[in-house]
Amino acid sequence: MILLAFDTAQGALSAAVRDGKEELASLFEERTRGHAEALMPMVETVLAEAALGFADLDALAVTVGPGTFTGLRVGLAAARGIALSRGLPLVGVTTLEAIAEPVAAEADEIVLASFDARRDEVYMQAFSADGPERTEPLLVALGDVLSRLPLGPLVLSGTGTPLMTDILAASGRPFRTSATRPQPDASAVARMAVRRLGERGAQAFLTPPAPLYIRAPDAKLPGGRDPGEAA
């Protein structure tokens, strides 16, 4: 199986190609704007490095949020377009899952993935060391973070880590920070997607995933419609 994954949802742009066993090619760059213009050239470069074309793909994967409205729409629109044109399954992976996946945690530790959501809020989700979710994806005010955390030592990942560090240090909660990238990486998205396809089969992913909006988007479509209506 050949799978192409990409991410445009937060403050980076990345793409990766993976077969059932290993990564064949990948690119990552930090980027806060211009995802729409840069995505397809990066995808074409990654495919070329893997000596593959779109006709060789068996599946796709893309991040679905939380993230910026524009970034999410760029990635989802591109992924849906490719999937529809080639009849491919499309796996959705959240950005919180993507930054938690590379973290190496001890058995008793909890991985806390978080993004700075501005406005004194964070997007966050807790995971067990071996991967299962401990909480749902949440949008939490900084003053309420401690009350939403499961008990146990924490490993912090993501752009929300500096905010979490201040809160946890003041509370006395045991924690450490991960050295993994604080932005989603398509390499992690691809690994997760391959596992899910193996567990559930391609038929489970023939319906395109919807964007994950935890906070209502600030942007409005013509007529004042919420962007989620057009997802």
- By DSSP bridging, strand 23-30 and strand 12-18 are antiparallel
Record the pTM: 0.92
Give CA–CA dist 202/188, Å, rounded: 19
For residue 66, whether the previous peptide bond is cis, meaning omega lies within 30 degrees of 0, is yes
pLDDT in tens, the chain (231 residues): 999 999 999 999 999 999 988 999 999 999 999 999 999 999 999 999 999 999 999 999 999 999 999 999 999 999 999 999 999 999 999 999 999 999 999 999 999 999 999 999 999 999 999 999 999 999 999 999 999 999 999 999 999 999 999 999 999 999 999 999 999 999 999 999 999 999 999 999 999 999 999 876 554 445 554 444 333
